[in-house]
Structure 1
Amino acid sequence: MSMDHDDLRPLPMRGLQVFEAAARLGNFTRAGDELGITQSAVSRQIGELEGRLGLRLFERSGPLITLTRGGEILCERAMRAISELRTGLAACRAAEGKSNIVTLSMLPSVAALWFAPRLEEFGKAHTCIDLRISASRHLVSFTAEGIDLAIRYGIGSWPGLAAEFLASETVQPMCTPEYAARHSIDRPSDLLRATLIHPDTEEGWVDWFAVEGVETGAIPSGPKFSDDTAALNAVLGHQAAFLGRSVLTDRDLAAGRLIAPFGTTLEASYSYWLVYPPEVEANESCDSVRNWILEAFRAVSPIS
């Protein structure tokens, strides 16, 4: 049996990884979000892979993409190969005595405000686990970035991944006791005289004032932070009030560093989820981290 010399060239692994993500998600932009690269970079990688293979993998119609017959065949094998590689890497780590390493991905705000205060608690419960925290805003690629588990904020739908519900949350006005006293915040309408940090979420000040029946006219302008940690630091510095998220502020409220002057809350549109590839084999260390995360979130927001 003869073999074409071209078949002996190294496989374009990065291109295959990008192709697998685009095929699985059905969209170049979502594939880029998962891999932490731009949509144009995904398109370029796919184009280079198609040129390398000498065949079209997708039919394109504007933003819509569909696999060709050849793309379907390659997709099936690429998914299988990537899954096998991940399983093999886990086996290698176990053989080298490194199966206790668990890499957990989460948003920087969740890492700083939810996990960091619980670091000692986790360490005491799991002295043998070498936990690595990957804090990033992009949707990580589990295979490419060596991620075992991820805490994500959304509606619970990530194609190709298993998602376990962790907790819902509410948002409500919060500030420090000093700020409330200085600005005489006694009634909901008093907040209209305060500096308001505007949230980077679906729920905003207009929604909250509407529930309270406050005629707002024009809500005062204020800064908008893309990261909850920065917003919280400004509030704890007695600079403003914000719509605090219950899961990220529970310890500051309990300690009295923050107060919620009014009882009215808004249900957040998104929830917290534990996400991981469904094909990953059971691992004692990963299972221990998973169980600890589930229990820790239940303590903040009990699951009914």
Structure 2
Amino acid sequence: MKSVRKLPLPFLRVFEAAGRTASFATAADELDLSPSAVSHSIRKLEETLNLRLFQRSTREVKLTREGAILLEHVQRGMDEMRRGLALVATDGPTPLRLHTAPSFATQWLLPRLSGFVRENPNIDLRFSASTDYARFENDDFDLDIVYGEPKPSAHEKIPLALEKLTPLCTPDLAAQIRSPEDLYAHTLIQCDVQMFQWRGWFEANDLSPPSHYGLHFDRSSMAIAAAVDGLGVVLESTLLADRELKNGKLACPLLGRTREVPYVGHYLVYPKRAHYHQAFDTFKTWLLKELRIDHPGLDDETES
């Protein structure tokens, strides 16, 4: 392969458009060039690289394996250039775009957000919540707070807090529960997407799990709300139910009398970059400080 140190960037722009659209004619329209000019640019790029990037026929053009690999990296590079230009060229502050697991957002983050906003009034925060992972490759988000350990990737990840699962219910209902066996007489609220279920809690406490559960939810926030409304006993994270425990709407009837289930439930994930804008560092520092105050037993930033 020839040296690519002096590779003309216009060739790569033409290649990206042709590879993305799978059409020299469409790329020509998009770039306001003639089809012959697109074809010439592609040919010069192939000669420079000493590689065949497209398979050509009378009906279509199709990327070769090498062309597909190059397109992926060229598009990633263009995304980074667009992001860099946006960071340095914007007139106002760059918004911090945060993606988060829904229940973490409603149960833990939002109740504390007023303090961050008060201390940092010039930071423009934009939130989105869903159970899907953020797509950093599309440059939609700067940070992601995910439930459960993330899949292996090149991104940075930080475990956020050591959470504890324990039975939670209203104080009135808690007065009726003196031993773990008392749970059999009550409606048990199950969060079906939770990593650890009631069955695991009963087994951890050397008890046979019940065969029936009265209520099922697919969000911890809904399961906690059901317990607040007195609908039964929920097995939930004391981190996510922190607000309800502090204001007395929920109680831990068996705390200290049964085995809690400790686990790291949430992780902070973000792409590796040489430079981050100031709002990124400010929010990350605030988040980790808040969580360490609530849960000082977890080691500081353990990254991989």
Q: TM-score, normalised by structure 2?
A: 0.73
> Aligned pairs, how many?
246
Rounded Cα–Cα distance in structure 1 between residues aligned with 2:61 and 2:288: 45
Q: What amino acid is aligned across from residue 194 of structure 1 in structure 2?
A: H
2:8 is the alignment partner of 1:8: no
Residue in structure 2 matched with residue 54 of structure 1 by the alignment: 62
Which consecutive unaligned segments of at least 5 residues does structure 2 have?
1-10, 15-23, 32-58, 300-304
Q: What amino acid is aligned across from residue 136 of structure 1 in structure 2?
A: S
Residue in structure 2 matched with residue 265 of structure 1 by the alignment: 260
Rounded Cα–Cα distance in structure 1 between residues aligned with 2:152 and 2:99: 15
CA contact (8 A) 2:93 2:123 kept: no
Rounded Cα–Cα distance in structure 2 between residues aligned with 1:73 and 1:143: 16
CA contact (8 A) 2:157 2:267 kept: yes
Secondary structure, aligned partner of 2:63: coil
Moved more, 119-128 or 185-194: 119-128
2:286 is the alignment partner of 1:289: no
| Equivalence map 1:198-213=2 (5 Å) | 198-199=190-191, 200-213=193-206
What does the per-residue CA deviation read over 1:35-71, in whole Å, with 9 as the maximum and x for residues that have no partner? xxxxxxxxxxxxxxxx975135xxxxxxxxxxx3332
RMSD (Å), alpha carbons: 2.5
Query: Which portions of structure 1, spanning 4 or more consecutive aligned residues, are displaced by more than 6 angstroms?
Result: none
1:175 is displaced (CA, Å) by 0.7
Residue in structure 1 matched with residue 93 of structure 2 by the alignment: 98
Rounded Cα–Cα distance in structure 2 between residues aligned with 1:105 and 1:52: 40
Q: Return closer, same or farther for 1:273/1:227 CA change in 2, 3 Å cut-off.
A: same
Percent pairwise identity: 28
Rounded Cα–Cα distance in structure 2 between residues aligned with 1:52 and 1:129: 49
Q: What amino acid is aligned across from residue 97 of structure 1 in structure 2?
A: G
Residue in structure 2 matched with residue 37 of structure 1 by the alignment: none
| Equivalence map 1:122-271=2 (5 Å) | 122-142=116-136, 144=138, 146-181=140-175, 184-199=176-191, 200-216=193-209, 218-262=210-254, 263=256, 264-268=259-263, 270-271=264-265
CA contact (8 A) 1:87 1:281 kept: no
Rounded Cα–Cα distance in structure 1 between residues aligned with 2:60 and 2:291: 47
1:254 is displaced (CA, Å) by 2.5
CA contact (8 A) 1:87 1:280 kept: no
Q: Return closer, same or farther for 1:53/1:185 CA change in 2, 3 Å cut-off.
A: farther
Q: What amino acid is aligned across from residue 238 of structure 2 in structure 1?
A: S
Rounded Cα–Cα distance in structure 1 between residues aligned with 2:181 and 2:75: 58
Which consecutive unaligned segments of at least 5 residues does structure 1 have?
12-50, 57-67
What does the per-residue CA deviation read over 1:136-195, in whole Å, with 9 as the maximum and x for residues that have no partner? 2222223536312121122244523222232231211111111223xx211101101111
CA contact (8 A) 2:190 2:223 kept: no
Q: What amino acid is aligned across from residue 251 of structure 2 in structure 1?
A: I
What does the per-residue CA deviation read over 1:110-139, in whole Å, with 9 as the maximum and x for residues that have no partner? 111011110221122212212122122222
User: If each structure's helix is expressed as a fraction of its own residues, which one has the higher value?
Assistant: 1
What does the per-residue CA deviation read over 1:218-265, in whole Å, with 9 as the maximum and x for residues that have no partner? 433222211111111110001111111122112322332211112321
Residue in structure 2 matched with residue 88 of structure 1 by the alignment: 85
2:134 is the alignment partner of 1:114: no
CA contact (8 A) 1:206 1:219 kept: no
**Larger of the two Rg values belongs to structure:** 2
Secondary structure, aligned partner of 1:54: strand
Q: Return closer, same or farther for 1:53/1:108 CA change in 2, 3 Å cut-off.
A: farther
2:67 is the alignment partner of 1:70: yes
Secondary structure, aligned partner of 1:247: coil
Rounded Cα–Cα distance in structure 1 between residues aligned with 2:61 and 2:262: 50
CA contact (8 A) 1:179 1:239 kept: no
Q: Return closer, same or farther for 1:125/1:71 CA change in 2, 3 Å cut-off.
A: same
Q: What amino acid is aligned across from residue 128 of structure 2 in structure 1?
A: S
